[in-house]
Chains A and B, each alone.
Chain A
Amino acid sequence: MSLYSREDERAIRTQRRVEDWTQSRLLLPEQKEQILPMLRVDLRRTNRFLRITLFIFGFMVVNAGAGLVAVFLDFDESAFKYLALLAAAACLFGAQSLVTRHRLYHFGVEEAIAIAAVSFAAVFAATLASGRFSTVLAIAAATAGAWALFVRFGYPYAAIGAVVLAPGAVFTFDQTDTVRRLMAFTLLLTIFFLSRERRLDHDDEYPGDVFGRMEAVAWGGMYLIANLKISEWLSVPDGVALFYWGTYAVIWMLPAVGLTIAVRERQRALLDVNIVLAILTVMTNKPYLGVEQKPWDPILFGLTLIGLAVGLRRWMANGPGGSRHGFVGERLLASEAERVALAGSAAALVPGAPTHADPAPAIGGGGESGGAGAGARF
């Protein structure tokens, strides 16, 4: 089904690992030079910046082209959907041709055309029933299209997009919030188990790595739907007391269970998602209970996180061989340090000292721009 062989996908991932191991000084550069030719694949690739730029321009050209055809042919509304269908088919064919003829692999341009195919298919599905735009069909088509892209082109983000889009259709149903949330939760739980099963078949090797991310995203989606305090924008809760307190129990259970699974199976994506979920649970605990938040809440929260990080690091370092069951606090790979360094560089875009969100009269004047402590309130 896929345009790329599993062997090629795995070789590309192993190449990345070899680069990382060399930068981490686990391999010598001479060893890397010996290994990389053994992992060579007959595919054209590029770096991430050119890939993103090619994607942006490719997507723009395809959509402008479709718009131009529509303007020239001066369609009436009923013919519009057929243009969308034609455009979807043409884009899919075009993207496949670029891969089969020119051997492009995640090159940006063919990705843009493939994604445009899905968006055109969604437009076609939405306008299939005459006289109205069907959001359910649009989301369903987009979900199916995203999944098809993953199967055919192997894009991990398409698989994740399918997981994110799938429950979206449920929220268009003319049902109460409780029913919709329960349906969406069940759907995501099903996706979680299916992804998990597929991941366990392959472990960390492709496509198991993608299924691992799908599993984590589905888990995070279940939490988002369960936590009524952070998903009011998705659907306004209808105030069923039993459901409300049921979700309160669930938002504590999900991170606890998720962390247990992630630690036991050493699944990075699931671990990271559940750390975020645990933090969200603590942050939304008081709003859930209807208790007023106090200034010492973030102080205690911050101190707890710092204490937890330091305590964990020491506990692991004091274990036999500087680890606990293989878990270590220090970095093992150069890529881990790069991720932290990237976060450090990105911190330039984050304002300095955050202030309490409640509107309060300013003691004095305040700054307008970002930067440390430049808020209007002290």
Chain B
Amino acid sequence: MTTLERLDEWRALGIISELQHATLAALVRRERFSLFVELNALLYIGVVSLVGGLAWAFRDYVDDLGDAALLSILVLIVAAAFGYCYKRAPPYSNSETESPSLIFDYVLYFGCLMFSSTLAFVETRFGIAGGWDTHLLVASLVFGALAYRFDNRFVLSLALSTLAGYLGLTLSLFDGLSADRLRLAAFSYGAFLLGVGWVLHRQAIKRHFLDVYFQLGANAILLAALSGILERGVGLVYLAALLLFAATAIYLGVRYRRFAFVAYGTLYGYAGFSVRLLSIVGDATAGLLYFVVTGSLVVIALVVLARRFGRDE
């Protein structure tokens, strides 16, 4: 039975109206065909290419144009992009807001990338910020504010990845940096994202952004813990932390029906435990036996979980 035949059946049974039947049948027959995703992809690639080209051109012609002229051009571009966004945007709302136009989100994204380029130019030519970490922090804060003002997920992602860059960069300035310090930064970053995401969600501020925070935050924390399990002296502490975080991710994932976190908890936890154990065992046969036995147990547990909680898809 085809979808069109089913639509006819539902109409005959009075489940859907004539108008609904006509609308849905047009979609199924592809008489109405949306290019929304394709147009968005073209705009995204276009903006990234444009920014890349501008950065390349400015770098090549910086000596010909001079710092003042180049900075003026950059500032004008950024001001024009942000000005357009402020002029066209609907008033701020804590809930999800639709973009006023297809191009709006990409003008904002373009403005953010150009803003970052401007900061980079100022830093490389004048060095007034005292280092790249300041540049990244400023960019991250500005992007974060703009992401909320204009309800833009692309810009929020940009803010969070720039913040990660800031934390890594700040710590790399320390001489004799140990991996533990970097892991601490990753833990802090992850905890910060989880905390901010949770608080903003509780305050009902852009609740649809929660997933971006939690996905990034959980992965940062789990990855940081996983990377430390073979460290001499503190490896077991990292392993204990990893198992605790993994168990929490699985528990909360099941409780709130967010199965991506169940997957993260299972994979990171198993990987960490296995790496640590096999580093002690060292025998190939025992290792294979370990994978067969423990892997089978995990599969059984997941099947039980999937049958009890995992919704059909």
Contacts and interface: CB of A to CB of B under 8 A. Distances in A.
A57 B124 contact: no
By DSSP majority rule, is chain B's interface helix, strand, loop, or mixed? helix
A81 to B, nearest CB: 20
B94 interface: no
Interface in A307-344: 308-310, 312-313, 316, 323, 326-333, 336-337, 339-341, 343-344
Given A10-B3, A14-B3, A326-B30, A344 B285 contact: no
Nearest to B136: A371
23 contacts: A26-B23, A35-B15, A46-B306, A46-B310, A47-B312, A50-B302, A53-B263, A271-B38, A308-B42, A309-B46, A309-B102, A313-B39, A336-B34, A343-B44, A346-B157, A353-B52, A356-B56, A367-B135, A370-B165, A371-B140, A371-B163, A378-B117, A378-B124
A372 B288 contact: no
Contacts of A53: 262-263, 266-267, 302
B12 interface: no
A375 B46 CA distance: 20
Contacts of B299: 54, 57-58, 61, 109
B165 A374 contact: yes
A205 B7 CA distance: 14
B36 A340 contact: yes
A323 B103 CA distance: 18
Contacts of A370: 161-162, 164-165
Contacts of B298: 57
B263 A49 contact: yes
Contacts of A344: 152-154, 156-157
Given A68-B285, A295-B57, A306 B3 contact: no
A371 to B, nearest CB: 3
Given A306-B106, A355-B55, A48 B292 contact: no
Interface residues of A, number: 108
Contacts of A309: 39-40, 42-43, 46, 102-103
A259 to B, nearest CB: 11
B33 A327 contact: yes
A31 B23 CA distance: 15
Interface residues of B, number: 113
Contacts, number: 344
Given A301-B53, A306-B47, A323-B32, A378 B59 contact: yes
A47 B310 contact: yes
Contacts of A346: 157
Contact of B310 (A10, A50, A351): A50
Of all A-B residue pairs in the complex, the 5 with the closest CB atoms, nearest first, are: A371-B165, A302-B50, A298-B53, A344-B153, A305-B46
A372 B139 contact: yes
Given A39-B6, A58-B299, A295-B57, 13 more contacts: A46-B312, A49-B262, A306-B42, A309-B103, A344-B154, A348-B216, A356-B56, A360-B59, A370-B164, A371-B136, A372-B116, A372-B139, A373-B117
Nearest to B299: A57
B263 A374 contact: no
B259 A356 contact: no
A348 B161 contact: yes
Interface in A352-378: 352-356, 360, 362-375, 377-378
Interface stretch (B166-174, B198-206, B236-244): B166-174
A13 B4 CA distance: 13
Contacts of A362: 124
A179 B266 CA distance: 48
Interface in B18-62: 20, 23-24, 26-28, 30-62
A242 interface: no
Contact of B53 (A65, A299, A316, A360): A299
A371 B50 contact: no
Interface of B: 1-3, 6, 9-10, 15-16, 20, 23-24, 26-28, 30-62, 102-103, 106, 112-113, 116-117, 119-121, 123-125, 127, 132, 135-136, 139-140, 143, 152-154, 156-158, 160-166, 168-169, 172, 211-212, 215-216, 259-260, 262-263, 266-267, 270, 284-285, 288-289, 291-292, 295-296, 298-299, 302-303, 305-307, 310-313
Contact of A378 (B27, B34, B120, B216): B120
Contacts of B307: 44, 46
A157 B40 CA distance: 26
Contacts of B211: 345
B231 to A, nearest CB: 22
Contacts of B262: 49-50, 53
Contacts of A343: 40-41, 44, 154
Contacts of A7: 1
B116 A373 contact: yes
B303 A109 contact: yes
A336 B32 contact: no
B166 A371 contact: yes
B3 A305 contact: no
A17 interface: yes
Contacts of A341: 153
Contacts of A58: 295, 299
Given A303-B50, A306-B47, A328 B32 contact: yes
B50 A369 contact: no
